[in-house]
Amino acid sequence: MTNEAIIKLEHVSKQLAMKDGGEEIVTTILPDISFDILRGDFTAITGPSGSGKTTLLYLMGGLDKPTSGRVILDDQEISSLKEEELAEMRNARLGFVYQFHFLLPEFSALENVMMPMLARGRSSLNQAKERASDLLDRLGLSDKVRNKPNQLSGGQQQRVAIARALANNPMVILADEPTGNLDSQSAEMIYDLFSELNRETRQTIVVVTHDEHFASKTKRILHILDGKLNSDRILE
Residue 196 half-sphere exposure toward CB, CA atoms < 13 A: 9
Measured between alpha carbons, how far is 14 from 110 in angstroms, rounded to an integer?
38
Top pLDDT among 27 and 120 is at 27
Quote the pLDDT of residue 1: 45
Give Cα separations from 5 to 59, 169, 204, 210 (angstroms).
16, 19, 10, 25
pLDDT band at 14 (very low <50, low <70, confident <90, very high): very high
Q: Is the per-residue pLDDT at 101 higher than 90? A: no
Q: Is the per-residue pLDDT at 22 higher than 80? A: no
Quote the pLDDT of residue 152: 94
Say how far residue 56 (Cα) sits from the centre of its chain. Answer: 11
Average pLDDT over residues 101-123: 90
**Number of compact structural domains in the chain:** 1
Measured between alpha carbons, how far is 126 from 12 in angstroms, rounded to an integer?
42
Angle between helices 109-120 and 154-166 (to 10 degrees): 20
Instruction: Determine the residue type at 87.
Output: A
What is the 3-class SS of 157-204, one letter each residue?
HHHHHHHHHHCCCCCEEEEECCCCCCCHHHHHHHHHHHHHHHHHHCCE
Q: Which domain holds residue 223?
A: 41-68+76-234
Taking only the tens place, the pLDDT of each residue in 197-219 is 888 888 899 999 998 888 998 99
Q: Report the mean per-residue pLDDT for the chain.
A: 90
Are 105 and 143 within 8 A, CB to CB? Answer: no
Quote the pLDDT of residue 2: 52
Average pLDDT over residues 39-44: 95
**In-domain check, residue 185:** yes
**In-domain check, residue 2:** no
**In-domain check, residue 85:** yes
pLDDT band at 88 (very low <50, low <70, confident <90, very high): confident
**In-domain check, residue 52:** yes
Measured between alpha carbons, how far is 149 from 221 in angstroms, rounded to an integer?
32
Handedness of CA 22, 28, 85, 136 (dihedral sign): negative
What global pTM score does this model have?
Answer: 0.90
Residues above pLDDT 90, as percent of the chain: 58
Q: Is the per-residue pLDDT at 102 higher than 70? A: yes
Q: Is the per-residue pLDDT at 188 higher than 70? A: yes
Are 179 and 15 within 8 A, CB to CB? Answer: no
**In-domain check, residue 35:** no
pLDDT band at 169 (very low <50, low <70, confident <90, very high): confident
Top pLDDT among 185 and 172 is at 172
| CATH code assigned at 127 | 3.40.50.300
Are 148 and 170 within 8 A, CB to CB? Answer: no
